[in-house]
Amino acid sequence: MTLDGGSGADAENLRLAAIASGDRAAMKQLYDDHYAGLVRFVEGRVNGRIEAADVVHETFIDVWRHAARFEGRSSVKTWIYSIARNKSLDKLRRVGREEQLGDDFDAPDLDADVEAAAEAAHDAQKVRECVAKLGQAHRRMIELAFFEDLSYAEISQIEDIAEGTVKTRIFHAKRLLMHCLGRRAAAV
């Protein structure tokens, strides 16, 4: 069973069903769709990009092995991120330490308009600097909600915390970001 294209929850569910039946092309598509976001997600939890890539690869191995066990109680993306979270925690337990690292965001895809591109890069840099100043818990909430486009319910499942806690952390993180960005704008 091969799944070509498609998007949304139904396509992801079909893709996971294809993976459960051994479809390598479906697995490659799922990997391509989620690899970069998972690396960013895991990197804030473990010691560096190489360890993050290792955790992500372990995550996809589990997805391949256990796709048939997916029960559909969450989205496929939430399920994968939960596996990655658990793998990250396992790695930290094995290592016995946790280090907080800065985030490494990919540069935005900018238009051909040089002035607009320069302004967008400057604004993106300001946002990255402010996000980097957030505490680890607030930074993770911002990354999951705004960079990975996950709902509060999905973040709650991934982080294994109450949905109200997610909302509170995002509220406070946004206030901290606005304060940081506002202060920076006044300094310019």
Query: Distance (Å, rounded) from C-alpha 149 to C-alpha 31?
Result: 17
User: Which pLDDT value is given to residue 28?
Assistant: 92
pLDDT digits (tens, 9 = 90+) for 115-124: 554 565 567 7
What stretch(es) of the chain map to CATH 1.10.10.10? 104-188
User: Which pLDDT value is given to residue 1?
Assistant: 39
User: Which pLDDT value is given to residue 108?
Assistant: 43
User: Which pLDDT value is given to residue 14?
Assistant: 92
Going by CATH, does the domain composed of 1-101 fall within 3.10.20.30? no
User: Which pLDDT value is given to residue 49?
Assistant: 82
User: Which pLDDT value is given to residue 94?
Assistant: 74
User: Which pLDDT value is given to residue 17?
Assistant: 92
User: Which pLDDT value is given to residue 50?
Assistant: 82
What stretch(es) of the chain map to CATH 1.10.1740.10? 1-101
Please state whether 4 falls in left (phi above 0), alpha (psi between -120 and 50) or beta: beta
CB 40 within 8 A of CB 104: yes
| pTM of this prediction exceeds 0.85 | no
- Which residues of the chain carry a pLDDT beneath 70? 1-7, 95-122, 183-188
- What is the CATH T-level fold of the domain 104-188, as seen in this structure? Arc Repressor Mutant, subunit A (1.10.10)
